[in-house]
Amino acid sequence: MAGQEHEQWASRVGFLLAAIGSAAGLGNIWRFSYVAGENGGAPFLIIYALCILFIGLPIVIAEISIGRNARGDAVLAFRHARPDRAWYLTGGMAVIGCFFILGFYGVIAGWSLKYFVSALSGHLWITDNYSTYFSGYIAQPIEPVIWQAIMMALTVIVVAGGIQKGIEAANRFLMPVLGLILVFLAGYSLTLDGASQGLAFLFAPDWSAFTRPSVYIAAIGQAFFSLGIGMAIFLTYGGYLARGHSIPRAAAIIVAGDTLLALCAGLAIFPAVFSFGLNPAEGPELAFITLPGLFQLMPAGKWLAILFFGLLVGAALTSMFSILEVPVAYFIRRTGLSRRTVTVALGIIIFSVGVPASLGYSVLKSASIGSRNILEFYDYAISNFLLPLGGIATALFTGWGWGKAKALEESDFHDSTIGKIWLFCLRFIGPIFIALAFFSVSFF
């Protein structure tokens, strides 16, 4: 067996921090805030919570169980579980999918780093029109690609360091810092005048929104993106997990951590947005146009901007490690090359896959797909097709393909009632709801 089989997390806490770090990323801050804003806040939040509980959590448990059972990468794990069937294609799709996810993710991570450094140097305050600032910045062909390359290089350095010395060590440092920053920002935002309007937006349900299919689709897509399920990420991290720790408990902590961090981000952003009379439904630009404008208006805004964009960079990085680890684990086994060589090579290839998404705002501006530019197309295809497809395959495999007894045993549920509920969610609830969302996206 190849080298990666011998790697293991140094501790359970290390695994949990890395897994929460993986789940909590740009999806919790950048994407959650604008998707919640566009979908009316509270109703979206309720459906989102249900999706997390009945679809997301069961799939996280399934992924970790499949990975731990095989102690191997995405493809090996499915092959190990069912050598006689083609389920390994699910793993193959995940390995390929991660090239596109990380490619596109790296572009937005690069924007975040640029804003962080500009907040630190003061360059961010040379304007009071962030709409032109942002569109002017992304319309340059070279600079955004350089920041994207720096984020990819940082990811490569950490992942090349291995599971314990690279990924686990980085998460042990970054995650507590990120948690503290987020709690501080949420606390600060809640003390502002007018914060209650932001709270009402997030928590006061408007029942009519429950009749809008688009809110359900947005909630499922966001649950998938935010947890990062369907792409064998938890499966790969689970491959380094020792037996003896309860998987359902670990998964519950990871999912609760991810949801809590998204909520905290909402609490940091919406009260402040409302208290300064800004529009919460700005779309993907919320973090890069609305928020800098907001920081400029706030008394201690320059410091808050450093914290916020630092948070965005750190959260992006801890997710980038895990997305890169999926193909890295696979190719180390397949090629027999060293972790360092494989990581550097994949880093360069994935960076190249992301470059067109960045150039879609400048030299490749005319290359739109439908009404979307290249980056928007990546985001759309990943959230609405790739992740749900991977999620459905993982749920169906665990619910139907793996064998009931094996699935219950490997997930540590054994004979419990809750284990049966878990399987029911994987067999029916997840696939049916994902398929419904899937088709409504395709047809409407």
Interacting residue ranges for ligand PFF, rule: CB under 6 A: 23, 25-28, 101, 225-228, 231, 319, 323, 382, 387
Least CB distance from residue 265 to ligand PFF, whole Å? 11
Least CB distance from residue 136 to ligand PFF, whole Å? 26
Total number of residues shown for the chain: 444
CA dihedral angle for residue 291, residue 296, residue 299, residue 305, rounded to 10 degrees: 50
Specify the residue, 28 or 118, whose C-beta has the smaller distance to ligand PFF. 28
Specify the residue, 297 or 349, whose C-beta has the smaller distance to ligand PFF. 349
Least CB distance from residue 315 to ligand PFF, whole Å? 7
Specify the residue, 27 or 431, whose C-beta has the smaller distance to ligand PFF. 27
Least CB distance from residue 197 to ligand PFF, whole Å? 27
Specify the residue, 26 or 332, whose C-beta has the smaller distance to ligand PFF. 26
Least CB distance from residue 237 to ligand PFF, whole Å? 12
Least CB distance from residue 118 to ligand PFF, whole Å? 22
Least CB distance from residue 22 to ligand PFF, whole Å? 6
Q: Which residue is nearest to ligand PFF (CB)?
A: 27
Specify the residue, 209 or 441, whose C-beta has the smaller distance to ligand PFF. 441
Specify the residue, 27 or 301, whose C-beta has the smaller distance to ligand PFF. 27
**CA-CA distance, 285 to 282, in Å (whole number)?**
6
Specify the residue, 329 or 423, whose C-beta has the smaller distance to ligand PFF. 329
